[in-house]
Structure 1
Amino acid sequence: MSKQKLLRLTIGIIVSSICFGNNSFAQDKKQMVRIAKIVVDSLQLENYKTALKENVEASVSKEAGVITLYAVYDKEKPTHVTVLEIYADAEAYKAHLQTDHFKKYKTTVAKMVSSLELTDVIPIAFASKK
């Protein structure tokens, strides 16, 4: 299986687990789901991971509209980070961008990130075991 197919499968499994692990959001058609693919400067990787973790924790704990932020890195290329983002709706995402903790994250990591690709996705099917 190619790395790209494996990444897609992994993200699908993560989305499934998250959405069906929290059934109150599983059927909400207004949700905004996005995948962020980030490449980080290898010399800044540990600092980046610290900043990302701080932002993820603050976002989920302080923002009702942030359903899930799930960050992983490629086992073979640790500088390649993927973040699955699930928001209650587009307004929740817009509000997230205006928070102090997100602005701090963006300022902190601005020179650490060499590439950022944002892809809005639409879930097709979810299944998971409880």
Structure 2
Amino acid sequence: MEFRQLLVLSAVMLTMTGGPSYGQGGKEPYVRVAEIEIDPVQLEAYQAAVKEQIEAALRIEPGVLALYSVADKENPAHITVFEIYTDVEAYKTHLETAHFKKYKTATQDIVKSLKLRETVPILLGVKRR
């Protein structure tokens, strides 16, 4: 999935969930993109682990604004995770949570490669209904 397509998907998903407003309080959101290649034989185990981690992060962490995990349609072992946090400190806090550490432990033998992309938000818009 192209990066632009992922950004459009994130905007659509935020719209569906009634997403957050940006630019409040003078903080700039911290946005990361993770490109992950997993062992195709362990696809179901990876999907279960990432779903559990994302659900916990959204439920427990106030600094997590959005987490999306999508698989490439042509190659489901190529996963892209799009992450939006209130700021860099919220991201650092996320890395120290029990649910994130559980995810990292559960997937350490499943993930074949991980590339983290630092991004600079240009515009993160949400359409309110």
Could you state the TM-score of these two structures normalised by the residue count of structure 1? 0.86
2:31 alignment partner, SS class: strand
Kept in 1: contact 2:68–2:83 (CA 8 A): yes
Does the alignment pair 1:27 with 2:23? yes
Structure 2 Cα separation of the partners of residues 35 and 107 of structure 1: 20
Deviation at 1:16, TM superposition (A): 2.9
How many equivalent residue pairs?
124
Structure 2: runs of 5+ lacking an equivalent = none
Superimposed CA distance per residue, residues 65-110 of structure 1 (whole angstroms, 9 cap, x where no aligned partner): 0111011000000000000000011111111111111000000000
Is residue 69 from structure 1 mapped to residue 64 from structure 2 by the alignment? no
* Structure 1 contact 40–115 (Cα < 8 Å) conserved: yes
Gap regions ≥5 residues in structure 1: 1-5
Q: Which residue is 2:95 aligned to?
A: 97
Aligned-pair identity (%)? 44
Runs of 4+ in 1 over 6 A off after TM superposition: none
* Equivalence for 1:45: 43
Alignment root-mean-square deviation, CA: 1.9
Amino acid at match of 1:83: V
Pick one of 8, 13, 36 that aligns with 2:8.
13
> Which amino acid letter does the alignment assign opposite residue 7 of structure 1?
E
C-alpha displacement of 1:55: 0.2
Distance 2:94 2:41 in 1: 28
- Partners in 1 of 2:61 and 2:104 — Cα distance? 17
Paired residues for 1:81-120 under 5 Å: 81-120=79-118
Aligned to 1:3: none
